[in-house]
Amino acid sequence: MDPSLHAPFPAHRPRRLRRSGWIRDMVRETRLSPADLIWPVFVREGRGIEEPIPSMPGVSRVSVDLLPRLAEEALALGIPCLALFPQTDPALKTPDAAEALNPDNLVCRATRAVKTAVPGIGVMLDVALDPYNSDGHDGILRDGVIVNDETVALLCRQAVVQAGAGADILGPSDMMDGRVAAIRRALDEAGHADVAILSYAAKYASAFYGPFRDAIGSAGALKGDKKTYQMDPANSDEALREVAIDLSEGADMVMVKPGLPYLDICRRVKDAFGVPTFAYQVSGEYAMIEAAARNGWLDGERAMMESLIAFRRAGCDGILTYFAPRAARLLRDAA
């Protein structure tokens, strides 16, 4: 930006455009609305259950029968989509993740419940095996190694099952090579050409996922780590290569995960490709803000909204965030 475009002080005073609320609103560069949010919701078995998650204060696992109420709330708030994540019964977890292929598994029943009760709300489901794998990994483990191609074959079958249950968006979050092309082909061949793919294209091997693994029950099962398939947090150019690959394979939208520690990646992706770009404000990010707010160390509402506007400022078209309903209420009340 050429500084000569502005006259020097005192002719130019930037504070003129900050002196009152109405003028700050008028010249604001970045805006946030409920339509920019996807609400991740954890689902569990049972009836009438809302079970708090200790490592995610304010977030609960809910039984399927309570999901329509949440979907109606989202629709009323202007949140366009729920992302559903299952806490699978440990007895159903196996090394081959067979429960992922069950058309009547927990997340498929949850999807049908939402789409039946509130057809106007979108449903997103992850395509990955960690909720179903007794090893806690996103893929199949053989002799201590995550096998890529065998995993991709299972992911294709999982994707078709989830699309058949009514999912509108599928999010391959496994980070296997070649999975987007294979899933797109499987969906099209099964008659699900209209189901969109929001690829977790740049998903990092991050320390910020811990509370999520508590929420779905995979933390204790995880053997080793996920560094052989999730990205090195030190890498930036690699993220652009991963996004380019997924787009070439048929991804409709792409995601960066985690969010706030990777805003530079969000901006690079949006600038390089100009495609719908999302970020996931993951469980650890949420827990840090919420814990600090509950301890009185910061203003929780202001920190929440500041973090969300940061995603939009970095070029994100949308954000998956556990703050979605609270932020949407604040935005509605401020309108």
- The residues carrying an active-site annotation are 203, 257
Please provide residue 72's backbone torsions phi and psi, each rounded to the nearest 5 degrees.
Answer: -65, -40
For helices 237-248 and 263-273, angle between their N-to-C axes, nearest 10 degrees: 50
Closest CA to 135 of 149, 152, 147: 147
CA 70 – CA 62 distance, rounded (Å): 10
Closest CA to 172 of 236, 93, 243: 243
C-beta separation of 6 from 12 below 8 A? yes
Pairing state of beta strands 37-44 and 60-63? parallel
DSSP 8-state code for residue 126: E
C-beta separation of 264 from 236 below 8 A? yes
CA 215 – CA 201 distance, rounded (Å): 23
CA 154 – CA 174 distance, rounded (Å): 11
C-beta separation of 217 from 189 below 8 A? no
Cα angle vertex 209, ends 160, 211, to 5°? 105
C-beta separation of 182 from 152 below 8 A? yes
C-beta separation of 320 from 281 below 8 A? yes
Q: Which amino acid is at 184?
A: R
